[in-house]
Chain A
Amino acid sequence: MLRNHSRETAVALLFVLPFVLIYGVLFLWPTVQMVLLSFTDAPLIGPGKWIGIENYVEMFDDRRFWTSVRNTAYFVALTVIPNTLIGLAIAMMVSRLKGWQQSIILAMFFLPYILPVSVVYRIWNWMFNLQFGIMQYPLTWIFGEATPVFRTQWMFMPAVAFVTIWWTCGFNILLFLSGLRSISTDIYEAAALDNASRWTIFRRITWPLIWPVTALVLTIQLILQLKIFDQVYLFVQGGRPDPSMVLVQYIYNQAFQKNEGGYAAAVSVALFVIVIVFSVLQFQFLRARGEK
């Protein structure tokens, strides 16, 4: 059949046009505007004067900015790899169950994921409540006295990380489970005939075969956790926010509380670059390792 290439190209363009328009209006245009805003002294609403890279110079000298970078990095370290490993471990246990038992256990692990962050906050604020919280039993056993977890600076981030893992690992379990299910049972049977121990099967068969899922989970986690805001913002209520400030919280603080739109845009650009660079680097590294 003869094909009219210019006509086919026109039809193809017509089909992608709605997406290109929406992507341009809702993502590209605001991104460009944000970058431009970061070179001005604009307030939250309204235009500002062009001040070049002054916001960026100020940002590099800003102690609170660096605190928020450190806290964000600390939170990422506490959540990304542990959340992935826990998700994998639970998925492997769940995958050994059959039928309704698997469905019930999977639902139990996935249920927290559908909760809004405010409910998660209420649940765990009660769980850790100084007077009535059930978590105070193990804490008292460990530390010898009731402990205000979210008011103790060194405990704050690990506790929020713990709650975040509880909240989100259901999704990772689901991803890992679909990866595990894609491995043919024949392969495990062949490995059983090949004298492979359970540990060998995990190390040499399961782990390499679900590596693409692992790389995906790690990357999704990294991007999500770099953008941490809600949990930290809620759990810090009533306490001193500065020591536990994370990057998005700092952007919020600068834009909405201090009316520094231009400076907040500069911090946003910094976060944008961090997310892009780290997620691309990590994904490439993981992919290369998988291919090896």
Chain B
Amino acid sequence: MSDIVLKEVSKSYGAVSVLDKVSMHIQSGEFIVFLGPSGCGKSTLLRMIAGLEECNDGEIFIGGERVDQLPPNQRGVAMVFQNYALYPHMTVRDNMSFGLENVKTPKAEITRRVEDAARMLEITQLLDRKPAQLSGGQRQRVAIGRAIVRDPKAFLLDEPLSNLDAGLRVRTRLELAQLHNRIKATMIFVTHDQIEAMTLATRIVVMNNKKIEQIGTPMEIYARPATRFVASFVGSPAMNFVPVAAVSDVGGKAAITFAGQQPVQTAVPVAGLPTGNLTLGIRAEAARITHDGTGIKGVADVIERLGERTLVYTKLLDGTILVAEDEGISTIQPGDNVSIALDGNAAIVFDAAGKAFHAAV
């Protein structure tokens, strides 16, 4: 068992707080992704789990053992750094065996583990090269190999794909997913790339401004974001936010009116909705261009033709821009009057503080 439990973990540098009472429970074998913008504290949190940053407050448990007072080498975790941190003067073989030599592992065992990992990562032919003789992707594999040979309780990966070019990043992402399926180890992966998070994670931890905004499966995060920040950070194009002019109760569900538009029936229960400034959130795929004139009205501003679909940036009557979807072969031109049907079942209402109100499950 290598569950990782964080209990109200906090971190500050002098007067500057970077993490504030963060708690979570990571199950053994999960692929967890810390997702958030730069400076949200996700890398700091990973480094605190690794023992490379001290914990100011709170407790960290790995495999049931409290580790926040232990040095990095006694926590049983391995880390893959953003720039790989390979030892430049050592060969790939030496890089991978260094950690095992330090704990006096027998030579035959070191050779076996290094060769097994090299075979798994297809780097056997690189074992006698030095890091400077490797490409970025190969270095990345070596860094993962160095972690694998130690057979750690958990793998900590700090933006390991960010130094790779776009094509290689996609390939390596897939390989990481396959690797996780094969070795079933607990992995924590830090990224600010929502596509990496969505494609790799068992669960995503969305972080912002020192705190966890939401923990959930990729589809929970996408379809039922807990806050307006999560809704805006995950998904491309970003979720539409339209100011609500009025809310009326139709059979216990909110019918929402925008400035100068017909009401839109949603599945969000009226009970519990606060008064005051509300915003309706809806993703582009739930806002379809209609060709029969029904729906809310606007004027096409910018058209993005993506092949399989067309994104129509529509200026509504109050000036708000709403991104709607049309079929791939769309005849809409900028300046055309368009009508948009909103899928009320996919609509989310946010209060002034950014808290989300969803349709009942």
Instruction: Give chain A's interface residues, CB within 8 Å of chain B.
Output: 184, 186-187, 189-197, 200, 204-205, 208-209
Contacts and interface: CB of A to CB of B under 8 A. Distances in A.
Interface stretch (B96-104, B267-275, B326-334): B96-104
Judged by DSSP, the binding face of A is: helix
A189 B98 contact: no
Contacts of A189: 50, 52, 72, 79, 81, 85
Contacts of B79: 189-190, 193
Contacts of B51: 192-193
A97 B29 CA distance: 41
| 6 nearest A-B pairs in the assembled complex, by CB-CB distance | A194-B99, A186-B85, A195-B102, A190-B85, A195-B73, A208-B89
A184 B81 CA distance: 12
B64 interface: no
B53 to A, nearest CB: 10
Contacts of A193: 50-52, 72-73, 77-79, 99
A187 B85 contact: yes
Contact of A209 (B89, B99, B103, B146): B89
Contacts of A187: 85, 87-88
Contact of B85 (A184, A195, A204): A184
Interface in B135-151: 146, 150
Interface of B: 50-52, 71-73, 77-79, 81-83, 85-89, 98-99, 102-103, 146, 150
Contacts of B81: 186, 189-190
Contacts of B71: 192
27 contacts: A184-B85, A186-B83, A186-B85, A187-B87, A187-B88, A189-B50, A189-B52, A189-B79, A189-B81, A190-B79, A190-B85, A190-B87, A190-B146, A192-B51, A192-B52, A192-B71, A192-B72, A193-B50, A193-B72, A193-B73, A194-B102, A195-B73, A195-B103, A196-B98, A196-B99, A209-B88, A209-B89
Contacts of A186: 81-83, 85
Given A187-B88, A193-B99, 18 more contacts: A184-B83, A184-B85, A187-B85, A189-B72, A189-B81, A190-B79, A190-B87, A191-B87, A192-B72, A193-B50, A193-B72, A193-B78, A194-B98, A195-B99, A195-B103, A196-B99, A208-B89, A209-B88
B129 to A, nearest CB: 15
A195 B152 CA distance: 12
A194 B85 contact: no
Nearest to B102: A195
A49 B121 CA distance: 77
Nearest to B97: A194
Nearest to A187: B85
Contacts of B98: 191, 194, 196, 204
A208 B130 CA distance: 14
A184 B89 CA distance: 13
A204 B72 CA distance: 19
Nearest to B147: A193
A196 B98 CA distance: 8
A287 to B, nearest CB: 14
A209 B89 CA distance: 7
Nearest to A211: B89
B102 A197 contact: yes
Contacts of B82: 186
Contacts of A192: 51-52, 71-73
Contacts of B86: 190
A18 to B, nearest CB: 37
B72 A200 contact: no
B102 A200 contact: yes
A208 B90 CA distance: 9
Nearest to A193: B72
A189 B89 CA distance: 16
A197 B104 CA distance: 12
A237 B205 CA distance: 77
Nearest to A196: B102
A186 B73 CA distance: 15
Contacts of B52: 189, 192-193
A205 B98 CA distance: 11
Contacts of A190: 79, 81, 85-87, 146
B48 to A, nearest CB: 13
A213 to B, nearest CB: 13
A51 to B, nearest CB: 54
B274 to A, nearest CB: 47
B43 to A, nearest CB: 12
A141 to B, nearest CB: 42
B103 to A, nearest CB: 5
